[in-house]
Structure 1
């Protein structure tokens, strides 16, 4: 046990230990629900474009509400906010369950419920990310907590879709939604009775929310390293998530499979993401993160290109593994940098911008890529995304030395 605490020091903190258990269970149900909804939409419509609309409305609210959520949460209790968002998510899953079992489910209803989930998620994701550093009492455990939080997310991403694929095959989508509605209960209980957060430093009394949003944007713009890293993340986030909307088409049209094949593909992404989370937790050093970002974004571009050419399941699974690895190591590295270089009084706002980029822009790209795939096919669409990411990495490398210098100055002042 002592070796585990040395490897992952955040686990020694009781509040974080309970939170990570509840979060893993909650996210397991969410990923089962997401895959079941994707498969249900594709089964009803047989269209990648219509599926991309559902994906878009489930995450697009982050683009509209992300900055508001960051400023709002800095004025409110994060633990209570998480309890509310988890309870609302549970109600949404229960409605999906009822509609599916009763046979009244249809495409417009799925779009509406996805939109509701997106609004809830706008506040839930920012609250989760902002809470992590408040569950540990020393800065040495912050990096470990961020990586473990990502690992919990990706364990769920690994197990959830794979489990959902088999459950859909045996029982149908309704059972996935039913299981999901129960998985929110453990986290709600733990947040209510076991998890406590330390008090945040800084006061927001009398401050205008709009002014705080502008202040957060100016902070990111003034930090040279954050400015250029967020520019890379902007392009990366739009184009790397194309796999989410294209996988159903690959699993049926290209690979000749079904829901089980789709589950394996998403499971391989989750396995790569889990591996990436471990590597970030153990090996990544904050001052080396800019170079790490360039390498991991390049890995993602290569993996997408290989997947686009693959017509065999084993090669597609390997490529999917490295897609998950590249996306997670990139996102977790940026998340770590945001947590470490931000003070308590502006962390939620900085993280809300990070979440807008990583979770809000992807659906906008998916909408375009779904339409593109219906026209030119999934392989060509995915190859196009890989080329754009590669070009963004090359542009980022031109500023790498200056980015490293700016980050080193900030870390030295801290």
Structure 2
């Protein structure tokens, strides 16, 4: 019982508890929407290439705009930015719902709305991640809060696809989009109920471009943070776009339907939830680098084996550890960055992390979709897994040979950067 209480200790904070509940409901809708969009696109076009194009369109704004979004979050009230982006995302979801329910959608409309959501996320994610530290009063509980946040994301990843699978096979895509739009109400209410102390924002007369350069220089001097972000960029580009191929595996490889597709995603979400709970149980950050390398290897090897499974139930046995490995890497990297970056640089550094995590995936998704169109999904997924394992081994040696200079990077503050410039 004591161990269980320790795992969920961050929920004792009023603001984090509100955030946790609101985001849990909203993210179930988000995962329903992700599953539904991919299924709708593949049912509409029967094209792996178009799956890659839609995923590219939805995520490329993050690559281009997230550093700017991080700079904005350092210059303005992160809480107000987050509230604005959540309202904007709800309006985007409502528009998608209207088009689908009235049967006025086509592939162009889906791509345009995906781009709009990508732009919103480019500003939402850095502000949301940077706000996390203000939701827990004792900073020693920050690692636990980040891990619990990952657990919440993956509980949604487990439930969202499962609910979507049932709805897609019974009432169709429109209701899935409608529930996603309504789910934003929960997170908006939770934000309005928070009681956050006033945020001190230092007046900044420098250009946004200069602030972006400061973030880049800061990361260059934080060697292990730099390696963590580079590893995330490589895995996001090479391995994480595997989700683009899941509708093809569900429909063409395993000869299933929407329920099969949701089952693959739900079991992956179950593995991710287990990985996130394990990360929440950790009490320190000393082993994070080793855990992240192990997680990358587990993620990659599991996918490479999954690619050649001829039986759905056997394939699910490998989707499970793949999901666990992916989430352990994401949560471990996020925790490492959050706990080893000075607060005045937090938004900018996290924006580079977001660019590595979410911004590289659209490029990978487009290449994966194009490759699967030409050589088949099994070969593409297997190659992704093999390359991911090679990347994990390579970064394992880089971390082993590096000297941790986090303390030096924390001293390399905005004041130092301004003095150097």
TM range (shorter): over 0.9
Partner of 1:48: 48
What's 1:129 paired with? Answer: 129
- After superposition, the Cα gap between the structure-2 partners of 1:372 and 1:151, relative to the gap in structure 1 and judged at 3 Å, is same
Shift of 1:398: 2.0
1:220–1:255 distance in 2 versus 1, CA, 3 Å: same
Residue 93 of structure 2: aligned partner: 93
The CA deviation at 1:408 is 8.1
Aligned residue in 1 for 2:335: 336
Q: Deviations over 1:373-406 (max 9, x none)?
A: 0111101000111111111122112222233643
Asked whether 1:146 is paired with 2:146, we answer yes
CA offset at residue 412 of structure 1? 12
Q: Is the 8 A contact 1:93 1:181 kept in 2?
A: yes
Q: For 1:242 and 1:196, how far apart are their aligned partners in 2?
A: 38
5+ unaligned residues in a row in structure 1: which ranges?
A: none
Q: Secondary structure at the match of 2:342?
A: coil
CA deviations over 1:100-137 (Å, ceiling 9, x no partner) = 11111111010001111111111111121111111111
1:35-61 C-alpha deviation (Å, 9 max, x unpaired):
111111111000011011111111110
User: Hey, what's the Cα distance between the residues in 2 that align with 1:268 and 1:39?
Assistant: 17
Partner of 2:381: 382
Q: CA–CA distance in 2 between the matches of 1:3 and 1:299? A: 26
- CA shift for structure 1 position 211: 1.1
Inter-partner Cα distance in structure 1 for 2:83 and 2:284: 33
SS in 2 for 1:116: helix
Matched with 2:234 is 235
Q: Unpaired runs of 5+ in structure 2?
A: 413-421
SS of residue paired to 2:15:
helix
2:218 touches 2:409 (CA, 8 Å); kept in 1? Answer: no
- State the Cα distance separating 1:342 from its structure 2 match: 1.1
SS of residue matched to 1:233: helix
Secondary structure of the 1:287 match is coil
Per-residue deviation at 1:246?
0.5
- Name the residue aligned to 2:393: 394
Q: How many residues align?
A: 412
Matched, 1:181 2:181: yes
Aligned pairs for 1:1-400 (under 5 A) are 4-192=4-192, 194-199=193-198, 203-283=202-282, 285-400=284-399
Cα deviation 1:147-184 (Å, max 9, x = unaligned): 11111111111110111011011000000011111100
Deviations, residues 9-38 of structure 1 (Å, cap 9, x unaligned): 211100000111000111111111111111
Task: Return the alpha-carbon distance in structure 2 between the equivalents of residues 212 and 70 of structure 1.
Answer: 10
> Structure 1 residues 59, 284: CA separation in 2 closer, same or farther (over 3 Å shift)?
farther
**Preserved CA contact (<8 Å) 1:287 1:408:** no
RMSD of the TM alignment (CA)? 1.9
In structure 2, do the counterparts of structure 1 residues 206 and 2 end up closer, same or farther at CA, with 3 Å as the change threshold? farther
